[in-house]
């Protein structure tokens, strides 16, 4: 892993030619994030003259993945495709669709150090042996944002565990606040629930070992307990649920109506402008009662995949760009510009040395959580048709809080329909 743009420029110059090789990057980001992506592409193009990178927004994450798969089938795929966390299994198991990032980089003559990446980033887009298939890019962690004034008014501190939350929730409600909301139950209270509490989420090593016979473990007693608690807290006025949309539950926190909000570390940048009150942040709570809990969470967001079927010159340019993208300077630029975490230890250290976290300590919380000690089951999951499984979860979770189904029945339905989707994926993979 190179650590400076100067070093990157030297390395990249070795492949310089009279005419630049064109490569394309399809992504699913808009707004400010798209602007920063364009800036990174401009920086890369200016740093060398061998390659010319063109980023293209394809709409949402889901739309970008669908467009990429369709383009691959017609032989018109981009060089680089951004794929979100839930879609990782789809692209990884699409036979011949992507060249493993680690193979691409080493073939281009670069050294690749897996240990250069922070722990919570290292495994999610890797294979069962730890080889990087996708290059992590816009990475985030689910953290707990805290309304400073609400906690002060209630005379409490931010909870480290869910047991502590249960102790302070009545005081927060009495102070006039909804004690807790969250952004996305699937990511924060299911997927990362299993990771943060070091519990097995699916068979076959959480799906990493094989698509054949992988089954989801939604009915795990601890997971059922989490949702029984959420429903009880909801009924007692301790947990607010305003829908499955990403911003549905963030808005009341921004409006100073909520004390604690489980959101993405990547939301920090926007929250600085939208929050109507002072706020801080701390780690996603875990259950102290669960043995082995308190491990790291895994990343959300998306990774970049090098699509196959490209020339050696184009693949070299993709490798050059991956090296450029993971340099400490560019990762720090991305981190400061968007709120997403820097994916390498060198970039994290650069931000720290520059005094960024003295200025904005909240910006480091996600990185610190991802850097916590890992456990056997904290690296994440790898399941096919997972966007569809998330849709099943969201439907059933909506029904729980609407009083239309029990937690136990909802989890049984998720398992039944989820396992049917996993079985269908196993038949179609490759």
Q: What domain range is 281 assigned to?
A: 142-297+384-428
26-81 pLDDT tens trace: 999 999 899 999 999 999 999 999 999 999 999 999 999 999 999 999 999 999 99
- Which residue, of 316, 340, 367, is where some domain finishes? 367
Residue 66: inside a domain, yes or no? Answer: yes
- Are both 181 and 284 inside the same structural domain? yes
- Are both 21 and 98 inside the same structural domain? yes
| DSSP per-residue codes, 102-123 | HHHHHHTT----GGGB-HHHHT
80-135 pLDDT tens trace: 999 999 999 999 988 899 999 999 999 999 999 999 999 889 999 998 899 999 99
The bridge status of strand 21-27 relative to strand 51-57 is parallel
Q: Which residue has the higher pLDDT, 300 or 144?
A: 144
Q: What is the CA radius of gyration of the chain?
A: 22
In DSSP terms, which residues pair with 182 in a beta bridge? 262
- Are both 267 and 215 inside the same structural domain? yes
Query: CA quadruple 225, 372, 205, 73: dihedral positive or negative?
Result: positive
Entry pTM: 0.90
Instruction: Report, as an integer, the average pLDDT of 280-285.
Output: 98
Backbone angles phi, psi at 406, to 5 degrees: -85, 160
CATH number for the domain harbouring residue 195: 3.40.190.10
**Nearest C-alpha neighbor of 218 from the set 184, 190, 183:** 190
The bridge status of strand 80-84 relative to strand 300-307 is antiparallel
Residue owning tokens 């040395």:
353
Q: How many residues does the chain have?
A: 430
- Are both 268 and 392 inside the same structural domain? yes
**Rounded distance between C-alpha atoms, residue 54 and residue 59, angstroms:** 16
Per-residue pLDDT at 430: 59
Instruction: Report, as an integer, the average pLDDT of 211-236.
Output: 98
Residue owning tokens 């020339």:
311
- Are both 115 and 47 inside the same structural domain? yes
- Are both 194 and 336 inside the same structural domain? no
**Rounded distance between C-alpha atoms, residue 23 and residue 317, angstroms:** 7
- Which residue, of 335, 367, 399, is where some domain finishes? 367
pLDDT exceeds cutoff 90 at 12 = no
Query: Helix or strand or coil: residue 89?
Result: helix
Q: Copy the structure tokens of residue 322.
A: 């991956």
- Which residue, of 341, 367, 393, is where some domain finishes? 367
351 half-sphere exposure, CB direction, 13 A CA radius: 31
Instruction: Report, as an integer, the average pLDDT of 362-371.
Output: 95
Instruction: Report, as an integer, the average pLDDT of 150-172.
Output: 98
- Are both 187 and 285 inside the same structural domain? yes
Do 254 and 137 form a contact (C-beta atoms < 8 A)?
no
- Are both 122 and 147 inside the same structural domain? no
In DSSP terms, which residues pair with 264 in a beta bridge? 142
**Rounded distance between C-alpha atoms, residue 300 and residue 420, angstroms:** 25
- Are both 77 and 93 inside the same structural domain? yes
Domain count, the chain: 2
Do 112 and 313 form a contact (C-beta atoms < 8 A)?
no
163-220 pLDDT tens trace: 999 999 999 999 999 999 999 999 999 999 999 999 999 999 999 999 999 999 999 9
pLDDT exceeds cutoff 70 at 4 = no
Q: Copy the structure tokens of residue 236.
A: 């007692």
Do 397 and 62 form a contact (C-beta atoms < 8 A)?
no
Residue 293: inside a domain, yes or no? Answer: yes
Report DSSP state, residue 257.
-
60 half-sphere exposure, CB direction, 13 A CA radius: 5
**Rounded distance between C-alpha atoms, residue 235 and residue 75, angstroms:** 53
Question: Mean pLDDT score of the chain, rounded to an integer?
Answer: 94
Residue by residue, what is the 3-state secondary structure of 264-324? EHHHHHHHHHHCCCCEEEECCCECCCCCCCCCCCCCEEEEEEEECCCCHHHHHHHHHHHHH
- Are both 88 and 237 inside the same structural domain? no
Q: Which residue has the higher pLDDT, 299 or 407?
A: 407
- Are both 360 and 388 inside the same structural domain? no
- Are both 246 and 350 inside the same structural domain? no
Per-residue pLDDT at 346: 97
Do 214 and 383 form a contact (C-beta atoms < 8 A)?
yes
Instruction: Report, as an integer, the average pLDDT of 287-310.
Output: 96
Report DSSP state, residue 132.
B
Residue 377: inside a domain, yes or no? Answer: no
Query: Helix or strand or coil: residue 386?
Result: helix
**pLDDT band at residue 429 using 50, 70 and 90 as cut-offs:** confident
**Rounded distance between C-alpha atoms, residue 27 and residue 373, angstroms:** 31
Describe the crossing of helices 162-174 and 221-236 by its angle, rounded to 10 degrees: 10
């Amino acid at each position: 892993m190179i650590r400076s743009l100067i070093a990157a420029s030297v390395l990249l110059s070795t492949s310089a030619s009279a005419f630049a090789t064109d490569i394309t990057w399809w992504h699913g980001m808009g707004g400010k994030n798209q602007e920063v992506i364009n800036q990174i592409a401009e920086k890369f193009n200016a740093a060398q003259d061998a390659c010319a990178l063109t980023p293209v927004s394809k709409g949402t994450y889901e739309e970008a993945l669908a467009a990429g798969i369709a383009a691959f089938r017609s032989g018109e795929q981009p060089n680089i495709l951004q794929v979100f966390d839930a879609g990782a299994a789809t692209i990884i198991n699409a036979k011949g669709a992507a060249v493993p990032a680690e193979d691409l980089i080493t073939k281009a003559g670069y050294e690749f150090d897996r240990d250069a990446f922070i722990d919570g980033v290292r495994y999610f887009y890797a294979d069962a042996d730890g080889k990087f298939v996708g290059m992590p890019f816009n990475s985030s962690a689910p953290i707990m944002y805290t309304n400073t004034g609400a906690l002060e008014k209630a005379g409490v501190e931010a909870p480290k565990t869910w047991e502590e939350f249960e102790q302070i929730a009545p005081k927060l409600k009495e102070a006039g606040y909804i004690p807790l909301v969250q952004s996305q139950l699937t990511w924060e209270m299911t997927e990362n629930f299993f990771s943060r509490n070091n519990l097995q989420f699916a068979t076959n090593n959480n799906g990493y070992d094989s698509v054949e016979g992988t089954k989801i473990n939604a009915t795990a007693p601890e997971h059922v307990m989490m949702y029984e608690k959420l429903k009880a807290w909801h009924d007692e006025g301790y947990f607010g649920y305003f829908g499955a949309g990403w911003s549905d539950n963030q808005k009341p926190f921004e409006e100073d109506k909520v004390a604690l909000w489980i959101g993405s570390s990547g939301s920090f940048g926007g929250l600085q402008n939208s929050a109507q009150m002072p706020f801080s942040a701390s780690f996603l709570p875990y259950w102290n009662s669960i043995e082995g809990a308190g491990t790291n969470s895994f990343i959300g967001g998306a990774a970049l995949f090098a699509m196959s079927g490209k020339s050696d010159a184009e693949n070299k340019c993709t490798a050059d760009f991956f090296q450029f993208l993971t340099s400490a300077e560019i990762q720090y630029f991305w981190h400061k510009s968007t709120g997403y975490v820097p994916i390498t230890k060198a970039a994290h250290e650069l931000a720290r040395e520059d005094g960024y976290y003295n200025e904005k300590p909240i910006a480091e919380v996600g990185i610190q959580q991802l850097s916590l000690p890992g456990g056997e089951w904290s690296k994440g999951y790898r399941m096919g048709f997972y966007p569809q499984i998330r849709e099943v979860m969201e439907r059933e979770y909506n029904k729980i809080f609407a009083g239309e189904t029990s937690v136990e029945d909802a989890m049984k339905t998720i398992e039944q329909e989820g396992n049917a989707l996993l079985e269908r994926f196993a038949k179609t993979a490759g």
